[in-house]
Copies of this chain bind each other. A is one copy, B any other.
């Protein structure tokens, strides 16, 4: 099946927004084994949209449009597509009730122009919108499958990943289910190398690797006639990937390192504080990105000069003089110091050269020491991340979260 994604929106052509919908849909179609041959963007102009549709129906079997389903005069996707495929638009009562209820819920009056959002091609499959007003829909005409989705990513993404992908899976007679395996401490190429045979082996389940923000993810997706059967296909595949990769897997469907760490610390009733030099507050910021962090996080200190490292954390003058502020010894004393001062089970100390420069003593840029003190015992991990200040700081925070997560898990096992 050859797919084409058509975004309808002048705001994309003006550069006001980037076409992330196309990326989300492309990723999902890849999981389903459907090839995307074209992505097209056209403005809110019925003649040009019609011309683009005429090109698409000649070269593609599946057309997915995003945008132009709203209530304003500019929103013409529904009308133009219905016309192009000879479909009549009819009022879909359940959608109108959903739209009315949506306005009730947000406490705003519904203006009459919203009614047109419930006008859908006769005989289509309706894709309900739980995240906004305009429903999506799907139909088949002249041997071409057409899906219409709303443009705003907060509506388009969940609608596509639930109802949209389910519709496409049903075309092949089934449902689809995915699990995300989260990996830290192994590069993407090494991971792909280790999973190569599994990735090549088959299309159901599929294994799709992703690398982002210094960590990796494998998404395992199965199609089956029921969710239960899909899970049966998934379970051994997920287990196989976890066994193969070993302890670099930090969780399945856990979101992120900070979310996994937060969950573990909360569950085990452990408290945390962090002392940061080169990361400058980034680790503390990421920990507190998680709502509910106050359950385990007492706080942190950004100690950006020696004077404050000594005053707040009690790092000794001797250590700073003898080993410098960027040293294993200083990282350890920072971790011990913050745990003691803030009175927490776990303390973290991070110090390094994030860039643009390394140390005057020849320590290379990107050298960062991360100390952890857990119930009195300290250890330090040293990393080298020389690809720029932002990456170095991110990598240091990732490693610190990984150390927190491992300490919390291990602590419970004795």
Contacts and interface: CB of A to CB of B under 8 A. Distances in A.
Q: A22, A25, A281, A293: which has the most chain B beta carbons within 10 Å?
A: A281
A298 interface: yes
Interface stretch (A10-18, A69-77, A261-269, A374-382): A10-18
Interface stretch (A81-89, A171-179, A305-313): A305-313
A307 B298 contact: yes
A280 B284 contact: yes
B13 A18 contact: no
Given A26-B14, A291-B356, A302-B284, A42 B36 contact: no
Nearest to A30: B14
A283 B303 CA distance: 14
Q: For this complex, into which size category does the number of interface residues on chain A fall?
A: 35 or more
Nearest to A14: B30
Given A14-B26, A40-B39, A302 B281 contact: yes
Given A23-B17, A301-B299, A37 B43 contact: yes
A14 B42 contact: no
A324 interface: no
B43 A48 contact: no
A282 interface: yes
Contacts of A42: 37-38
Given A39-B40, A281-B285, A288-B281, A304 B308 contact: no
A162 interface: no
A68 to B, nearest CB: 15
A134 to B, nearest CB: 21
A302 to B, nearest CB: 4
Nearest to A45: B37
Contacts of A312: 299, 301, 312, 341
Contact of A14 (B36, B278, B291, B299): B36
A250 interface: no
Contact of A40 (B38, B43, B282): B38
Given A281-B285, A283-B281, A301 B304 contact: no
A19 interface: yes
A18 B14 contact: no
Given A19-B22, A22-B19, A42-B37, A280 B291 contact: no
A198 B277 CA distance: 46
Interface of A: 12-15, 17-20, 22-30, 35-43, 48, 51-52, 55, 59, 274, 276, 278-285, 287-289, 291, 293-294, 297-305, 307-308, 311-312, 341-343, 355-356, 389-390
29 contacts: A12-B23, A13-B37, A15-B24, A15-B25, A15-B26, A15-B30, A19-B19, A19-B39, A38-B41, A38-B52, A39-B39, A280-B288, A280-B289, A281-B281, A281-B282, A281-B288, A281-B300, A282-B285, A291-B355, A291-B356, A293-B304, A297-B304, A298-B304, A298-B305, A298-B308, A301-B301, A301-B302, A307-B343, A312-B312
Given A19-B39, A291-B389, 17 more contacts: A13-B37, A15-B26, A19-B19, A37-B42, A37-B48, A40-B40, A280-B284, A280-B288, A281-B281, A281-B302, A282-B288, A291-B355, A298-B305, A298-B307, A300-B302, A301-B301, A312-B312
